[in-house]
């Protein structure tokens, strides 16, 4: 797990701008969802072709959080990346950002139904959880994710998973600009480095949403329930 915090000068900037650090004092469990992004074998398993080693350290925290939030009525959503086996459904990424010698391996790792594309097995799922896929960094692009949320009256997203500075951040940015309430969970997200992880936390808390720990998110849900 990343041992970094938002820098004091960023905290001071946020306080000067809006008068408080956290955006949301209470979170309605009936309108909230925990979205766990890309915690798949391709990213989490040791030695995987697109491994994010720090992602293994957030498996236990995510499991604790899903148990806590399910019991409070928060919807858990497992978001998996999925593309064609040849990567042609996102050639703009595979052709430009992946070296020719690695394209086939990277695309195959995230192909629908492959062993590496599946959820990391140490994660605990529940019968009421939702499952959905994306083939861009953000699930709001070329998918029915927004419709899924709207059908369930969800307007608040708690984001966990990997990588903090790629798919998690893209999801946070798009969600905020589509008028969702957003909170990135700092101890349930992982990047390739501490610097990249912290950069996203600082971007999000200044412009796109809140940054909470798992305990703070649960506390905000309880605050709403106690005040109802």
Residues labelled catalytic: 38, 134, 167
Sheet holding 210-212, edge to edge: 130-134, 75-81, 32-37, 156-162, 181-190, 210-212
For the beta carbon of residue 87, count every other beta carbon within 10 angstroms: 20
Write the CB contacts of 26 (distance below 8 Å, at least 6 apart in sequence).
220, 221, 223, 224, 227
Distance CA 20, CA 209 (A): 13
Q: Report which of 199, 207, 228 is spatially closest to residue 27, judged by C-alpha positions.
A: 228
Distance CA 202, CA 163 (A): 15
């Amino acid at each position: 797990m990343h041992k970094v915090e938002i820098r004091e000068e960023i905290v001071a900037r946020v306080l000067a701008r809006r008068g408080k650090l956290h955006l949301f004092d209470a979170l309605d469990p009936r309108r909230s969802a925990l979205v766990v992004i890309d915690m798949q074998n391709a990213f989490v398993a040791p030695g995987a072709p697109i491994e994010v080693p720090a992602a293994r350290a957030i498996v236990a925290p995510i499991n604790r959080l899903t148990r806590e939030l399910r019991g409070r009525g928060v919807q858990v959503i497992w978001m998996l990346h999925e593309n064609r086996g040849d990567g042609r459904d996102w050639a703009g990424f595979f052709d430009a950002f992946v070296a020719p010698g690695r394209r086939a391996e990277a695309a195959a790792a995230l192909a629908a139904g492959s062993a590496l594309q599946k959820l990391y097995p140490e994660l605990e799922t529940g019968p009421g959880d939702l499952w959905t896929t994306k083939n861009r960094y953000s699930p709001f692009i070329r998918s029915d994710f927004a419709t899924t949320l709207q059908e369930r009256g969800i307007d608040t997203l708690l984001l966990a998973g990997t990588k903090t500075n790629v798919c998690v951040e893209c999801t946070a940015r798009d969600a905020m600009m589509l008028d969702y309430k957003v909170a990135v969970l700092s101890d349930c997200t992982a990047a390739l480095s501490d610097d990249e992880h912290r950069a996203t936390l600082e971007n999000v808390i200044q412009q796109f949403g809140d940054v909470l720990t798992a305990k703070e998110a649960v506390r905000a849900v309880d605050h709403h329930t106690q005040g109802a």
